[in-house]
Structure 1
Amino acid sequence: MMKKVILSMLMLAFQFSFCQSESGSDEFWKTLKSYCGQSFEGEITAGASADDPFTGKKLIMHVKSCEENRIRIPFFVGEDRSRTWVLTSQDNFITLKHDHRHEDGTPDKVTQYGGTSTNTGLSTIQFFPADQETCDLIPHASTNVWWITVDDKSFTYNLRRLGTERVFTVSFDTSKPIETPNAPWGWEE
């Protein structure tokens, strides 16, 4: 009887470890890396208003740089090439930062805001609540939560400012790569 119990426990442990061989963040990271070198056109699918600076502009993301633990994704709004989403993976957690540059490549005074996932998340979605650096830099953004969704057909970048009506989503069709745009401002090859 004891051998059966031990054998059953070992089998359960093996099944659990097999099912947990990769975390949601690992699978998410692999999907993100599969886009490397490609560019995609997007559209605002939530939060657009007539006076929004993104409205009516061509929106392009370029998964430009994929290192082992860092992926950089420039996000162009028309001719404005000031924004890059920087994702960093460490110990099964992913950090999202927003790198903003001026046309001459110097950092904007509002840059490097974002947050780190609080758990390993799912393979198709990761959440990034505002971190302390963001709270110090942009106090009204202290309740921001960003999230990114990925799968084999789409990538969405989302923002929700809790306690307000602020919401923003831009969606990209990753099944239709487009021509690679010029480098973002301040980019060093």
Structure 2
Amino acid sequence: MLDFAKGDGLVPVIVQDEQTLEVLMLGYMNQEAWEKTQAEGRVTFYSRSKERLWTKGEESGHFLNVVSTHIDCDKDTILIKVQPAGPTCHTGSRSCFNTEFNQNFLLQLERIVHQRYDEPSEESYVNRLRTRGINKIAQKVGEEAVETVIAALAETETDFINESSDLLFHLIVLLREKGLDLKTIAKNLEGRHQ
């Protein structure tokens, strides 16, 4: 049970992208906002400036869809992992924190690939690959791996970075084609580390 009394009826809420783990924002909840968040599956805060409940995205449509909630050991802070439906910050940025780049862009790229699978478009390179089948996707991973090795041995650093990027992109597509994701690979690598 959350302890709202410690903060005069409010508790801080850290919002984190469930896939990239990037911290998106900090807000506050009272008991009513907490109950509404749990009931609706979208993050609702208590706005201290407006002195009312405020569902993130109520005007922009950029809701924060709840994946999981976690209460800290002192029961006075909430961590909410979300799937954001667009930028989180009112400035249009993905996060309210001004980080210079998205350190977890590979995971965001994976989300984009999954989206292209779920909502195919003729203009999408991912869709063109997907329609050509697993053999073509696997072939592209092999080609990009060879080009990465060549760039590492005989080309510039920029060439190596570009080829490595192509390799990782096509590997993400292949993982999706096989019904796997980067989280599965990360868990496997973590298990091997022990």
Per the normalisation by structure 2, the TM-score is 0.21
Whichever structure has more helix as a proportion of its residues is: 2
Whichever structure has more strand as a proportion of its residues is: 1
Structure number with greater CO (CA < 8 Å, separation at least 6) is 1
Q: Which has the larger radius of gyration?
A: 2
